[in-house]
Amino acid sequence: MGYIPVDAEWYIAEMVMEITVHGARCNVLHRNLILLKARSPQEAYDKAIQTGQDGQTTHTNPKNQLVEIRFRGISKLDVVYDAIEDGAELAYEELLGVPETQIQQMIPPKEKLEAFIPPNPGQEHDPDYRSKEVMEEAVKMLNKDA
Nearest to 29 by CA among 146, 135, 127: 127
Where exactly are the structural domains of the chain? Answer: 10-93+108-145
- C-alpha dihedral, 122 to 126 to 127 to 130, nearest 10°: -10
pLDDT one digit per residue (tens) for the chain, 146 residues: 478 888 889 999 999 999 999 999 999 999 999 999 999 999 999 999 999 999 999 999 999 999 999 999 999 999 999 889 999 999 888 899 999 999 999 999 999 998 898 877 666 778 888 888 988 888 888 888 76
Predicted structure pTM score: 0.81
Q: Which amino acid is at 3?
A: Y
Contacts 24+ apart (CB under 8 A), 103-111: none
